Amino acid sequence: MWSGWSKTGTTVKQDRSCVSVVQMKCLLIASESAEVLFHWTDPEFQQNIQEQYGASQEEGQGLPAFEDSISTLFAPIIISCSTMVDRLGDNYTSFTTENNHIYVLHQFDECLYIAVNGDGEEGEDDLRRKIYVMKKMIEVMFGMVTLSSNLLRKELRPQDTDQRARLWKHLQSLLETYSHLRENDQSFLVEAVERLIHPTLCEQCIEFLERRLVQQLNSSVERAGEEVLHAFILVHTKLLAFYSSRNASTLPTSDLLALIIMAQNMYPSNVDLEDSGPEDVESTSGSGPESFYTPEPSPTDRDSSSSDKPVRGSTPVFEFVDPDIQMAEDSLRTLEVPPPDPSTPRRVFLEVSLKEGLYPMMPHSMYCLPLWPGITLVLLTKIPTTAVAMSVYTFLEAFANLEKRLSQGQEGSAATRGPPTIHDIRSKLDKFIKALGPSEIQSAQLQNVWTEFKNRAFTRGGPGFNKHLIPWCKHMKTQLCGIYRQCFLIDSGPADIPRRLSPSLQERAQTMVQEKLMDWKDFLLVKSKRNITMVSYLEDFPGLIHFICVDRSTGQMIAPSLNITERTTSELGKGPVARFIKSKVWNLVSTTRRYLQKGYSTVTLRDGDFYFCYFLWFENETGYKLEAGDIPILPDDSAPIGMLAWDYYSRKLLRYYSKNHQGEVVKCYELLTVHLGVIPTEIILQHCRQLASKLWEPSRNPLL
Amino acid sequence: MTPAACDCPAFLRRLSPRSREPSTAHTRRPAGVVSVRSPVTERFLRCFLRDFLSVMAELQPSDSGRCTYFFLYDGSKVKGEGDPTREGICYFYPEETPLDRQELLCGQLAGVGRCVSELSLSPVRVLQLRRNKFAIRMKDDFFWALGCSMDVPIVSVCELLDQLIDLFTFYNGSIRQSYQLNSQEALAARWAQYLSHLQSGSSELHHIFSCLRTIDSTNVDPLLLLKAALILQACQRCPLVLAGCILFRGRVVSTQMFPELTMKVMVHESETYTKAPRSNGQSSSSPSGGAVSSTTVFLTLSELQYLQSAPVDKDFSSHSTPHKDTVPPRKTRLSRTLSDMASTESEPSDPGSPPSPQKVSFSPDSTFSPVPSQSLEPPFSNGKHSHEAEEEALEESYYHSFHSNGGGGGGGGGDTSVFEEDSPLNGGRGDAACGTVFDFRESRSGNEESRDDEVQEEACRGGGVCGSTGDPLPPSPPPLPRSGALGDPEESPLVPMTLYMHRVKGLVLALLVELHFLSDTAATEEVYHSSLASLNGLEAHLRTISPGPPGPPGPYFFSHFDCIQSTLTTNLSGGPGGAPERPFVRATSLLHSHFCNTETLQEAIIRSAGAAVYGTRSVAQETFFQQHGASLRNSGIPNHQDSAFSLPSKARHRLLKHGVNLL
């Protein structure tokens, strides 16, 4: 009782009872001029805003009125942000109010993201993660257009209000899907992919995908120039089989997780179904897939969201600061809103690593084919014009580098040193523009800007390479992004030449896999809920309550299922107890991330009746444990630790660690355990050691 | 006293020669009277402060714990579009900041703060930038912001800001009123003073834990601590004295107040310390002048209630009821009785803590009789005798005071028996520590209550909450409803009291007394004379204690924070920039934040490549421990032979000799 002394805790508590509690959540993207580029709010937030604005605006007009009020309310914050950046070179990262509302702010280029939580369920780190995930989803959807704030702004805020409403609804639903997964799915908690543990079936499926499916698809004439690179089968969020064709590069975990979110968003795991025990699944399994399929609650939303690309019409005219530079107007023709076509693939932009180097945000088509509710086949294809994207990226990078050097004060040849040299770029870009000429892509503006650039940069006696060229670097980048946008974001081209796997081909693929898995379907649905269970560990690890083990090199995780539904009894008991343990596990993950961010790779905590452990370690390829080394210490507002939005482990940790292990393959593992507090520490540590050494040998591990 | 002899930090020493005049003016100010100061003085003061603050900044360039910005902004002065932001800036630290930057920060932060608080219907508490974190307090139109560098835990920044504002209120009363009554410059000097006082902690750990600086009790004869406690108890016999503390060279020897209040009192002590020889500055009503000073201070109702509910008073009032003859004491006693009753209900454990027995038996009337003070004369005059003589005198003085008072009590048989019953407890050498122990216990039980009160009050007037720090601590009993506390936030009652200080060289007796104490000659004389000899004796003893050899630091770092007494024990050298200590301090800071935010967390081991640190806490303490030199070469994979996991048992053994019991 004396701990009432500890200053902060009590005050918070007291405050909660005194101040009226408004629970609300919101995520807002705004331009520097306080224009709302996207917003997501929960009903409480909406209500709160409307109350503050009085009843006058809430009726009738719906979206625009709410949008106006939200932008008015946030405008002072947004404007203050740019003032702080301009005049102080610093920016806000978060606000906390006395009733524990948290505001997290982050600026990406000219887009300011603000995430708000008022119910105490998300901390600052969670909100920051949400912001980064939102940005990641936008990158997957818009690719390199995100590199031009100007274009992205127009992309995110189409002038046509219907189109805007559709796009925002889609983004909002993605965000909600992500939030739901993060709060309920362990693989999205730790941001690693969970595989279904059934080695035989997995192997069979991979073989099937390789020998039968992908081969057949890629040899079909109906593929319209597309080539299937990756194919995978998801059971809810868990991966049953993943196959990549030989000439495909590895799909990064970050992208795979983002794709799982998109698939989950398209075909959400039915919540009722999730709550039902295995018996219920059993009883309904006799009926055919069609009757079992739960229709979408609002088909229009779903349809529009799955086909918002082709719907895109009447894109506004670009308004540049410089009136001379008009972006080519590519889509003045107003498209009739076509009937939603489920076979239309989704354009996604994924990272590709080739021999030549790393190409982020390369265009792919994603086909999400539902096999049964909860089981989905996903195909990722390379589109025929990928080479254009690679060229654009090369040019973009070159101009970005040039701009950077020029703004650092370098001039002349110092600024233009390669590779690739500016002369290289010059000839390549000339060829590129020439090649674009006869195509439908409107490249006149790019041509003009490029000519002007060349005049300034290369003309004898001209200004040459100095800081006056910086705006022209920017113009070039914008134009290149515009070309990229025309190529990959707008379904240009005659409608009679479909640029996708034909619907019948898709259907055939769907049927093939359905046939293959027909006998396994019910098993898989149950297995996905009971992938591995604590029961198998109780005997060998008395006192162990839960664990999560993550292989960060492959981005995969293993953890016993945590079922917290009322109807099913798991090893953790029913509802409340299981929920309590679940909340402990979720807290543990965020706690250990905070310590990891500050350079601590081992954490043990005695908390209430539990003892928590966290270990992070490195091994070489042969499994030899490498010595623990320095881990970078990151600032509070650094990108969240995880793999979805930004791969901390490969981008930061391994890069940092590998400095002392050059030429060696370094693998990184994490283990989290929850034990009963009464178990002696030595025993707990022995358990951890056993788990750490056994878990990644599934074939040899009798427990799996 | 020469400044060099001070135990105060360097920058205060620098301050001392020149600061006398302004500070004196401050102390001279009677309650509620505006002190008018010439513009010349003001300018001098501002220039001086600027100098000294910049010197301070230079002296501590590497110390990241320091505050980077502090400002108070009055939004009511900038209402219209055309009003310049500078009109609203009441105080800005660092003062040499260019005005346009001051305006930028004040304007932007206050603006954003208002916007966010409107959205959330609650004042902003924390505002973080990429390179600075600000604790914010918004109250009425006032906006305070205290900025620290990123490595200070936000919990600590919030705490620092609360302390700063509380300090100002303690010495100046309500903010709005002080700004109506005083010039902005005068108040700016005070903010600067409080800020520098709060930042004067010698090590980075002091920025993490806001702690009281106490004398090193391992070096001090426990009997001296007992004596200090007895002096305070003797003073408390005067009903106009609420509570007191004894400080020696800026450190606490003994206190009857809860830590927050003691901390506040110490500001004035360190301020008067430097100008002790000057006697003209004090509003002295004491018989001897010189060493006695007083100033008006403002207590919150809850602080006052806590002080009045000290267990000793309860017995006192019940026992002394039959003795009440005169009107004035009856008055005070009556009010105490009422508040005592209220607090008894909320603190069932109170009767268990031993009351100061000797007090129980005496009526206030006897305390006021001039006889005992006369009997104290001899030891006073003997004050400069040898060590032993002094000791004798000291003890004698107690003896005298007990007996004379006992006699004054009217010779009732019951009184004497009470005294005799209790005297072995207090006088026995073997039980020497008892006095201090129950002194703490007393403050402990009271602390909590007062904290609740404060909390409630602060919450209600919209301040004082560290919102970002997350989870609340275990449920505390619902605060008692109090009249006033729930009323108009601006009018949240502040009760003026007098802070009375009696200085004997490096030793200070600080008492919180009722306002009319100073006009009550009998009372002042009584308190003065009854304590003077003992103070002299105590001072002589404490002065001779050399800070024993620091001892080998040991192959480990530790820090032990006593949450009840707000004291910190550590073996860190404490100087800024101690590179080997950095990992330990960093881990401590993280773990402390974690402990603050997670009520159920009991212990933690965290390991980076360079250091493994063990932290453990209970309701009463937080302890952090790091072993040096233990081979940290490991793979990070779980291993029960790993040295990191033996830290808990090592800490238990090693820290026993520092008086830290983790068993």
Candidate from A97-106, A549-558, B35-44, B431-440 with smallest mean pLDDT:
B431-440
Interface test with chain B among A70, A86, A95, A696, by most B beta carbons within 10 Å: A95
DSSP string, B312-368: HHHHHHHHHGGG--SHHHHHHHHHHHHHHHHHHHH-TTGGGSPP-HHHHT--HHHHH
How many CA atoms lie less than 13 Å away from A370 in the CB half-sphere?
20
Is 90 exceeded by the pLDDT of residue B110?
Answer: yes
Report CA torsion sign: A438, A439, A444, A449. Answer: negative
Strands A238-244 and A227-235: antiparallel
Tell me the pLDDT tens digit for each residue of A401-455.
Answer: 888 888 888 877 777 776 777 888 888 999 998 888 777 778 888 888 998 888 8
Q: How far is B411 from chain A (nearest CA, A)?
A: 41
In this structure, the answer to whether residues A26 and A94 fall within a common structural domain is yes
ipTM: 0.84
* Rounded Cα gap, residues B494 and B489, in angstroms: 11
Residue A631: CB atoms within 10 A of its CB come to 21
- Residue A368, domain member (yes or no): no
Helix H or strand E encompassing B504: strand B494-504
Please, which residues have CB within 8 angstroms of residue A448's CB and are 6 or more apart in sequence? A325
Taking 70 as the pLDDT cut, the residues of chain A under it are 1-23, 54-64, 270-342, 418, 491-498, 564-574, 696-704
Angle at B102 between CA B99 and CA B107, to 5 degrees: 125
Q: Which of B120, B126, B604 sits opposite A99 (nearest CB)?
A: B120
| pLDDT above 90 coverage of chain B, percent | 29
User: What's the pLDDT band for B379 if we cut at 50, 70, 90?
Assistant: very low
User: Closest chain B residue to A122 measured between Cα atoms?
Assistant: B470
Q: Which of B646, B645, B654, B629 is nearest to B558 (CA)?
A: B654
CB-CB neighbors (< 8 A) of B470 in chain A: 12, 100, 123
CB-CB neighbors (< 8 A) of A581 in chain B: none
* Rounded Cα gap, residues B563 and B367, in angstroms: 35
Q: Which of A92, A124, A602 sits opposite B129 (nearest CB)?
A: A92
* The two structure tokens encoding residue B359: 């007090």
Structural domain of A561: 535-695
Asked if A635 lies within 8 A of B605 by C-beta distance, the reply is: no
The pLDDT value given to residue B414: 37
In this structure, the answer to whether residues A634 and A576 fall within a common structural domain is yes
In this structure, the answer to whether residues A577 and A473 fall within a common structural domain is no
Q: Give mean pLDDT, residues B329-334.
A: 34
The pLDDT value given to residue B161: 94
* The two structure tokens encoding residue A290: 């069609």
Looking at chain B, how many residues does it have? 663
Tell me the pLDDT tens digit for each residue of A106-117.
Answer: 999 899 999 999
Q: Which amino acid is at B347?
A: E
* Rounded Cα gap, residues A255 and B21, in angstroms: 70
Is 80 exceeded by the pLDDT of residue B112?
Answer: yes
A547 or B578, higher pLDDT: A547
Asked if A11 lies within 8 A of B464 by C-beta distance, the reply is: yes
Residue B446: C-alpha distances to residues A4, B302, B340, B451, B655 (Å)? 11, 11, 12, 8, 28
Asked if A630 lies within 8 A of B609 by C-beta distance, the reply is: yes
Q: Are B428 and B222 in contact (CB under 8 A)?
A: no
- Residue A197, domain member (yes or no): no
* The two structure tokens encoding residue A351: 């990272």
The pLDDT value given to residue A498: 60
Q: Which of B602, B612, B636 sits opposite A606 (nearest CB)?
A: B602
CB-CB neighbors (< 8 A) of A101 in chain B: 116, 119-120, 122
* Rounded Cα gap, residues A276 and A595, in angstroms: 38
Asked if A606 lies within 8 A of B105 by C-beta distance, the reply is: no
Phi, psi of B30 (to 5 degrees): -75, 170
Where among A152, A167, A188 does a domain terminate? A188
Where among A147, A166, A188 does a domain terminate? A188
* Rounded Cα gap, residues A305 and A155, in angstroms: 15
Q: Are B371 and B507 in contact (CB under 8 A)?
A: no
In this structure, the answer to whether residues A455 and A552 fall within a common structural domain is no
Considering just the CA atoms, what is the radius of gyration of chain B in Å? 25
CB-CB neighbors (< 8 A) of A83 in chain B: 104, 108
* Rounded Cα gap, residues B291 and B66, in angstroms: 34
The pLDDT value given to residue B631: 57
β-bridge partners, B613 = B606, B626
CB-CB neighbors (< 8 A) of A12 in chain B: 465-467, 469-472
In this structure, the answer to whether residues A549 and A465 fall within a common structural domain is no
CATH label of the domain that carries residue A13: 3.30.450.70
User: Closest chain B residue to A600 measured between Cα atoms?
Assistant: B608
In this structure, the answer to whether residues A434 and A552 fall within a common structural domain is no
Q: Which of A96, A607, A613 sits opposite B468 (nearest CB)?
A: A96
User: Closest chain B residue to A626 measured between Cα atoms?
Assistant: B635
In this structure, the answer to whether residues A23 and A146 fall within a common structural domain is yes
Residue B518: C-alpha distances to residues B35, B283, B500, B515 (Å)? 20, 9, 9, 7
In this structure, the answer to whether residues A53 and A132 fall within a common structural domain is yes
Q: Which of A1, A95, A627 sits opposite B476 (nearest CB)?
A: A1
CB-CB neighbors (< 8 A) of B101 in chain A: 88
HEC profile of A357-369: EEEEEEEEEEEEE
Is 80 exceeded by the pLDDT of residue B515?
Answer: yes
B333 or A88, higher pLDDT: A88
Q: Which of B129, B159, B135 is nearest to B147 (CA)?
A: B135
In this structure, the answer to whether residues A106 and A29 fall within a common structural domain is yes
In this structure, the answer to whether residues A403 and A548 fall within a common structural domain is no
Residue A529: CB atoms within 10 A of its CB come to 22
Q: Which of A8, A103, A607 sits opposite B602 (nearest CB)?
A: A607
- Residue A378, domain member (yes or no): no
User: What's the pLDDT band for B492 if we cut at 50, 70, 90?
Assistant: low
The pLDDT value given to residue A572: 59
User: Closest chain A residue to B605 measured between Cα atoms?
Assistant: A604
DSSP string, A500-551: S--HHHHHHHHHHHHHHHTTTHHHHHHHHHSSS-THHHHTTSTTEEEEEEEE
Residue A621: CB atoms within 10 A of its CB come to 10
User: Closest chain A residue to B604 measured between Cα atoms?
Assistant: A605
Q: Which of B125, B472, B586 sits opposite A10 (nearest CB)?
A: B472
Backbone φ/ψ region at B233: left (φ over 0), alpha (ψ -120 to 50), beta: alpha
Please, which residues have CB within 8 angstroms of residue A477's CB and are 6 or more apart in sequence? A147, A148, A396, A399, A400, A403
* Rounded Cα gap, residues A387 and A400, in angstroms: 20
Whole-prediction pTM value? 0.78
Strands A193-194 and A556-558: parallel
* Rounded Cα gap, residues A305 and A311, in angstroms: 10
Question: Three-state SS for B536?
Answer: helix
Residue A586: CB atoms within 10 A of its CB come to 18
CATH label of the domain that carries residue A552: 3.30.450
Total domain count, chain A: 3
Q: Are B361 and B418 in contact (CB under 8 A)?
A: yes
The pLDDT value given to residue A623: 79
A244 or B33, higher pLDDT: A244
* The two structure tokens encoding residue B608: 């980076």
User: What's the pLDDT band for B52 if we cut at 50, 70, 90?
Assistant: very low
A413 or B571, higher pLDDT: B571
Please, which residues have CB within 8 angstroms of residue B301's CB and are 6 or more apart in sequence? B453, B457, B482, B484, B485, B492, B493, B494, B495
Q: Are A76 and B111 in contact (CB under 8 A)?
A: yes
* Rounded Cα gap, residues B243 and B256, in angstroms: 6
- Residue A379, domain member (yes or no): no
How many CA atoms lie less than 13 Å away from A437 in the CB half-sphere?
9
* Rounded Cα gap, residues A548 and A536, in angstroms: 15
Q: Edge-to-edge strand order for the sheet containing A600-607?
A: A193-194, A556-558, A544-551, A666-676, A610-620, A600-607, B601-608, B612-617, B621-627, B556-562, B567-570
Q: Are A624 and A661 in contact (CB under 8 A)?
A: no
Helix H or strand E encompassing B653: helix B647-654
User: What's the pLDDT band for B594 if we cut at 50, 70, 90?
Assistant: very high
Q: Give mean pLDDT, residues B512-537.
A: 89
User: Closest chain B residue to A104 measured between Cα atoms?
Assistant: B128
Interface test with chain B among A602, A610, A674, by most B beta carbons within 10 Å: A602
Asked if B563 lies within 8 A of A18 by C-beta distance, the reply is: no
Asked if B112 lies within 8 A of A118 by C-beta distance, the reply is: no
CB-CB neighbors (< 8 A) of A23 in chain B: none
Tell me the pLDDT tens digit for each residue of B525-555.
Answer: 888 888 888 899 999 888 887 766 666 677 8
The pLDDT value given to residue A177: 96
Helix H or strand E encompassing B294: strand B292-300
Q: Edge-to-edge strand order for the sheet containing B133-139?
A: A36-41, A25-30, A111-117, A102-108, A92-97, B124-129, B133-139, B142-148, B67-74, B89-93
- Residue A640, domain member (yes or no): yes
CB-CB neighbors (< 8 A) of A3 in chain B: 473-474, 563, 599, 619
- Residue A700, domain member (yes or no): no
Q: Give mean pLDDT, residues B411-423.
A: 36
Q: Which of A110, A94, A98 is nearest to A146 (CA)?
A: A110
The pLDDT value given to residue A567: 58
In this structure, the answer to whether residues A557 and A480 fall within a common structural domain is no
Q: Which of B108, B123, B129 sits opposite A93 (nearest CB)?
A: B129
Q: Which of A198, A195, A208 is nearest to A516 (CA)?
A: A208
Is 70 exceeded by the pLDDT of residue B100?
Answer: yes
Asked if B606 lies within 8 A of A603 by C-beta distance, the reply is: yes
In this structure, the answer to whether residues A670 and A601 fall within a common structural domain is yes
Q: Are B559 and B569 in contact (CB under 8 A)?
A: yes
Q: Give mean pLDDT, residues B273-282.
A: 45
Where among A488, A514, A543 does a domain terminate? A488
Return the DSSP state at A56: G
Angle at A301 between CA A300 and CA A307, to 5 degrees: 90
Q: Edge-to-edge strand order for the sheet containing B251-255?
A: B251-255, B241-248, B507-513, B494-504, B292-300
- Residue A500, domain member (yes or no): no
* Rounded Cα gap, residues B285 and A566, in angstroms: 75
* Rounded Cα gap, residues A288 and A269, in angstroms: 18
DSSP string, B134-171: EEEEEETTEEEEEEE-TTS-HHHHHHHHHHHHHHHHHH
Q: How far is A85 from chain B (nearest CA, A)?
A: 10
Q: How far is A218 from chain B (nearest CA, A)?
A: 45
Interface test with chain B among A97, A625, A673, by most B beta carbons within 10 Å: A97
Is 80 exceeded by the pLDDT of residue B23?
Answer: no
- Residue A505, domain member (yes or no): no
Question: Three-state SS for A602?
Answer: strand
Mean pLDDT across chain B? 68
